[in-house]
Structure 1
Amino acid sequence: MGNSSRKGEGEEGEEGGVEGGVEGEEAEVTEEKKKEEEVEEELPLGVEELFDSGDPVLDLSYRKFKRLPSRVPGLMHLEKLYVCGNRLRTLPDSLSQLQGLRILALDFNKMEDVPPAVCQLTNLTRLYLGSNRLMNLPPELRNLQSLRCLWMESNYFQRFPRELYDLPNLKSLQIGDNRLKTLPPDLWRMESLRGLWLYGNRFDTFPRVLLRMEHLEILDMDRNKITEFPSLKRLHALRLFSYDHNPVDTPPKVGDEVLVVGEGAAEFLEAREAKFERRRKAAEKEAEELALAGEEPVIHGILKNSSSNSKQAVNEAVVTVGDADFKEDEAKEQEEDTELPVTEYDGAELVYDEDGIEYETEELICEGEGFEYEGEELEYERGDMDYEYEELEDTGRQDEGA
């Protein structure tokens, strides 16, 4: 009896403890909400004005936000949203209301998963997820059927995400500085890809499946452990191949119009240029001799590979910061460039330039691999690179159709 009595008292005490615990949790949640409201009230100077401006471009980068301000999902007019360099771990589900968004930049945050709301933004054409903590992609990413440019460099991918196969319009894929060792044998199914960045991964052999990707224009294999490259001549669309910082001394065999960057590439390009020059002079001399003989000069196919024409071809294929000009879409879009990798953030302000798929920097905020095109000489520099997002009329890392 005494035990039963004590047991009853114990149960009653436990119930009281549970009720007290629930009340304590509710109080804690209420306190948390209050703190959030206080954070909302203490928005950085000028942010409220941005909300009220009606501008379709909203830049909230480097504001130290731990959560997205509650007013953002209500800005139905937004087309471009930049929240880079904050402390975001996720985004509210209500963000999916912004169906007008075409560009979303979430670089340099603390996301371990792609927020579900992002996968509901079906009109996105460019998505930037670099420098987070991602290891995989959700199946729902397949909803982004309009996506053309995806950056997810400097994450923790160990396997190539097959979810990307179901993105029929994806042209530019930046997956450098991850942990890939192999590529799936059916990667060739991504027939729309024009630019692929695989630098800074863990490849020790060249993935043979890349030889089947005949539409690639830019391929970056920098900073891997590849000791031998096969001939790439079968990649007829290729215009830039970068293999720097691999344990090889000479470039692979490539087509005459391909710019190569890496150990021994400078000598290779000089020799090729000299060969083109000899052919050009021989063709000119032959034309002069024919003219003196009173015959019509014959323009040989050799002239098609002259140095000037070679540089012009590179001009058409590689633009500032290595972006690719995807010619087949010029009828639809005037800006169709791809980006070069940027891997590290040093704390300065991001600037996005809206020309095609361009992701430039002008204020030394990111460091990584890159090359610059100046006049007739293309130079690949391993110095600091910058991001730009100036609000020019649809140039840079902005939407092609913006």
Structure 2
Amino acid sequence: VGSATSSDIITPTPHCQIASTCVFTIRRHPNGDPVLDLSYRKFKRLPSRVSALLHLEKLYVCGNRLRTLPDSVSRLQGLRILALDFNKMEDVPAAVCQLTKLTRLYLGSNRLMTLPPELRNLQSLRCLWVESNYIQSFPRELYDLPCLKSLQIGDNRLKTLPSDLCRMEALRGLWLYGNRFDTFPKVLLRMEGLEILDLDRNKISEFPSLKRLRSLRLFSYDHNPVDCPPRVGDEVLVVGEGAAEFLEQREAKNERLRKAAEEEAEESALAGEE
């Protein structure tokens, strides 16, 4: 878990901390995308000239002191990635919900308690990170995002999930670690498209069999008060207390089955020669 900032971002110059006097240049990522990184500049407001960069496709403003964004940001209609992690936002800025070409939105480590209904305007959104906030109820606005594949909502205050969460059919990765679940949310058993499910650091004492989740490839349950690993399909990597022993036993069992199959095949071949 961490900031959305990544090594492929080109950092503009200079290292100015005063928004009203900041001078910066836009550079291009090697793949040609116009990128601006204004992270960790101690900004309390976004420099006004950013809104004039109409060709901008990636904007990183992590680790500042922003409480909102100006409405003029909505002019950046080419923006595909917006990172606002580690700021002081109590609400999602209205301008963000007008950036309809966004595919990735990072809002982790702010002060959000809810998400606005207007978020459903982001019909191209594929990845949403809202970890380390104060969200108490699952945001149903996300149901209306048909392309959303990755939802990072760990370290919030969720106790339950809505029974119709399975409407999010495109979802492939769901991070729910560090919330307040004391029972396994049964609706997850109906989300057969999930490939990654993270329930670390909750208070779940018993897990059902997850073998029906045929697409699942990674399941993390560490730091829950369970006695043994949950049952999962043979292709699933599990992470948690007792998982290493479980995986060793599973591999040993699979190896025995492989050897038995090979021996049976050899015996059949010999019988055929006779």
Change (3 A) 1:291 1:51: closer
Is 1:89 aligned to 2:67, yes or no?
A: yes
Match status 1:226 vs 2:204? yes
Instruction: Quote the residue 2:159 is aligned against.
Output: 181
Deviation at 1:230, TM superposition (A): 0.7
Partner of 1:392: none
Deviation at 1:285, TM superposition (A): 1.9
Q: Does the Cα contact within 8 Å between 1:191 and 1:213 map onto a contact in 2?
A: yes
Runs of 4+, deviation exceeding 6 Å: 51-55
- Listed as ranges, the gaps of 5+ residues in structure 2 are 1-16
Q: For residue 149 of structure 2, what is the amino acid of its counterpart?
A: K
Residue type of the alignment partner of 1:116: A
Matches of 1:195 and 1:92, distance apart in 2? 32
Does 90-99 or 53-62 show the bigger shift? 53-62
Q: TM-score, normalised by structure 1?
A: 0.61
Question: CA distance change for structure 1 residues 68 and 248 in 2, over 3 Å: closer, same or farther?
Answer: same
Out of 224, 230, 237, the position equivalent to 1:246 is 224
Q: 2:185 aligns with which of 207, 213, 226?
A: 207
Q: Select the structure that is richer in helix.
A: 1
Match of residue 249, structure 2, among 271, 283, 297: 271
Aligned residue among 233, 236, 242 for 1:258: 236
Structure 1's unaligned 5+ residue stretches are: 1-37, 296-402
Structure 1 counterpart SS, 2:254: helix
Distance in 2 (CA, whole Å) between partners of 1:41 and 1:193 is 41
| SS of corresponding position for 2:142 | helix
Task: Tell me the distance in 2 between the aligned counterparts of 1:51 and 1:126.
Answer: 20
How far does the alpha carbon of each residue in 1:262-321 deviate from its partner, in whole angstroms, 9 at most, with x for none?
A: 1111111111000000111112222233333446xxxxxxxxxxxxxxxxxxxxxxxxxx
CA RMSD of aligned residues (A): 1.8
**Aligned to 1:152, which of 104, 127, 130?**
130
251-260 or 151-160: bigger deviation: 251-260
Given the alignment, which residue of 25, 39, 52 partners 1:49?
25
Hey, what does 1:168 align to over in structure 2?
146
CA distance in 2, matches of 1:52, 1:231: 48
Whether contact under 8 Å (1:136, 1:157) holds in the other structure is yes
Q: Which residue is 1:62 aligned to? A: 40
CA contact (8 A) 2:26 2:34 kept: no
- Radius of gyration: which is bigger? 1
What is aligned with 1:139?
Answer: 117
Residues 61 and 82 in structure 1, CA contact (< 8 A), matched pair in contact too: yes
